Chains A and B, each alone.
Chain A
Amino acid sequence: MKKNWPLWEVFIRSKNGLSHKHVGSLHAADAEMAIENARDVYTRRSEGISIWVVESGNITASSPNQTDALFDPANDKVYRHPTFYDLPDEVKHI
């Protein structure tokens, strides 16, 4: 039997108004302990006001091999950016 505690990914919101951001991982027996450990490990200097933990095995990640398939189609769509549209300089606030 594997005795290692499962691995958890930790996300911290540093202050209200900002998103939770991935900060690292840790081992814990359950979610509650993961939160407590994350508090001790990742917020010893008031780095956060909210913690999310998720068991690493529950994350599905895209693969670097898919990079082209997933993200290439966005590259040639310049018309999605404001600079694509020519307007005279005289027009203000637009």
Chain B
Amino acid sequence: MEKLHDLQQAFQAKIDADEKIEPKDWMPDAYRKTLIRQISQHAHSEIVGMLPEGNWISRAPSLRRKVALLAKVQDEAGHGLYLYSAAETLGIDRETLIDDLHTGKAKYSSIFNYPTLSWADIGAIGWLVDGAAIMNQVMLTRTSYGPYARAMVRICKEESFHQRQGYEILLTLCRGSEAQKEMAQDALNRWWWPSLMMFGPSDKESQHTEQSMLWKIKRKTNDELRQQFVDATVPQAEFLGLSIPDPDLKWNEETGHYEFGEINWDEFWQVVKGNGPCNRERIKARIKAHEEGAWVREAAMAYAKKRKERATAAQKVA
């Protein structure tokens, strides 16, 4: 008991001194569990996030747009992989992580349960969804767990092109015909609120925030990040000539921040619980891809084994 207490104190002292925790260091079980939950949820979001955008690759309006979208979606696959790797350093294996996604035990960002109805949605996702993700991920480059922080540095380097390509899509639409501009506005109308929800429940409702801040897994609260996002994004919408679908949105001279309307938390919880427009479709697509890829994984293993055996046999002869 005494010893556990010492370990805990040494651990927190390290965190307080802004030192990183590395895989083999002692850590409280709850810290490990929280990280596995958060990192795997983050990894799943990257992978499931490929689905709504992948939906438009074959219909991108030009070759320039197509190569950009293809590269972005490929990046997201990479992000998923960096994050799964980081989670695996905590002693959980990949199979378990994937199973937890498929059975619904693990969550992913609920934003990816909304459909991509028009090409403008691809612009809105890059601008808003990647934009919101960047706010969160920049903070996480300073998270206390070493492998997670390092994965985030790599991811952040890649993300900025994602947001810029999205904004460029909308800029082009907004400078185009009346119908194109309407398409852009419609996309903003549908993606604005779900993007604000990406930061998670408000601070007074969030059950994990306080402990995560203490462990420096998170460095800013959900509400702080959400505010930062709104402040950065509103002027960008103005530049596009689009209006944010929030009648309560207004600049507060005194605080130097935008005030915004109440988020529809019922909708948020509905989507988290699996009742969003595309929850079932997304998981079905993931399971299908996993199952249909099984023979490839098995064949690769069998081939590797055969080659190894041949190499050993050849060595014996020589």
Contact = CB atoms under 8 A, between A and B. Distances in A.
A8 to B, nearest CB: 10
A29 interface: yes
B74 interface: yes
B298 A3 contact: yes
Tell me what chain B mostly uses at the interface: helix, strand, loop, or mixed: helix
Interface residues of B, number: 32
A3 B300 CA distance: 11
Nearest to A30: B304
A41 B151 CA distance: 12
5 contacts: A4-B94, A23-B154, A33-B300, A41-B78, A45-B157
Interface range, A side: 20 to 34
A35 to B, nearest CB: 13
B300 A7 contact: no
Contacts of A45: 157-158
Interface in B133-154: 147, 150-151, 154
Interface in B260-313: 294, 297-298, 300-301, 303-304, 307-308
A61 interface: yes
B40 to A, nearest CB: 15
Given A4-B93, A5-B300, A24-B82, A44 B88 contact: no
A50 interface: no
B94 A27 contact: yes
Interface in B69-98: 71, 74-75, 78, 81-82, 85-86, 88-89, 93-95
A25 B88 contact: yes
B25 interface: yes
Given A24-B151, A41-B78, A44-B78, A7 B304 contact: no
Contacts of B89: 25
Given A24-B82, A26-B81, A64-B25, A5 B301 contact: yes
Interface string A1-28: 0111101000000000000000111110
Contact of B85 (A26, A33, A40): A26
Given A4-B94, A4-B95, A61-B24, A30 B158 contact: no
A90 B185 CA distance: 73
Contacts of A5: 297, 300-301
B239 interface: no
A41 B75 CA distance: 8
